[in-house]
Amino acid sequence: MKNDNLIIAKKKFKSRLIVGTGKYQNMNECAKTIKLSGAEIVTVAVRRVNISDKSKPLLMDYIDPKKITYLPNTAGCFTSDDALRTLRLAREIGGWKLVKLEVLGDKKNLYPDMIETLKSTEVLSKEGFKVMVYCTDDPLMAKRLENVGACAIMPLAAPIGSGLGIQNKVNIKIIRSQTKLPLIIDAGLGQASDATISMELGCDGVLVNTAIAKAKNPFDMALAFKNGVIAGRQSYLSGRIDKTLMGSPSSPTKGII
């Protein structure tokens, strides 16, 4: 697995774990957790995290953007116009073109509004952005996102912050079978085994925030997710045995005394 890199928008990453920067007690905890996770990409909520006001603590002072890839996202946006404005601002502030798009439908369920998401993806792609898109686990919508220029498909496992884990393995498998784009599970994971399952389904990576940041010990949970992703990827590449309804003896059946 030494040369098994995650490739997004022609850029290579050794780690397949992406970590969010929100919900930590402070920036020191955030920085240490990300270091322990081994993540090379971190999401940054442009509307919520200070990345430009030098009179206040800057995320850049804790997480070096020369060593870690920042992925500006549109967390908190509920319309296409808001999302477009937010990412255009991110491009002006930091020159970022690799971005994560999420356009939510309501404040209770935090499910993606796929009509607004699809519209935004098409506009951003035409403007030269490399768009990683948070979406539902609907295979038809995932294919449409690919067709309008998304560079990565990011279906939810379950509602944001719910910790429920993958609720629809079948749809994830269908999405995997129909796209060559990076497929990254985004939202709803609760423990390291959820990440392992995601990788065993053939996903290229997982994005985790709440499950790590709000764990009783975020440092240990970051390590657990790191190892869970590695184990799941190795398991997937190894090629699992076929499932059968009947037992199969593990010892030789010939030459029995």
Q: For residue 196, report the phi and psi dihedrals to the nearest 5 degrees.
A: -60, -45
Half-sphere exposure of 200 (CA within 13 A, CB side): 14
SS3 70: strand
> Hey, which residues are catalytic here?
100
Residue 128: which of 87, 156, 159 has the closest Cα?
Answer: 87
Output the CA torsion 69→74→75→81 (10° steps).
Answer: 180
Q: What's the rounded Cα separation, in Å, for the pair 186 and 155?
A: 6
Beta strand 11-13 with 6-8 is antiparallel
Q: What's the rounded Cα separation, in Å, for the pair 138 and 172?
A: 8
Q: What's the rounded Cα separation, in Å, for the pair 253 and 51?
A: 66
**Hey, which bits of 77-221 come out as E strands?**
98-101, 130-135, 152-155, 184-186, 205-208
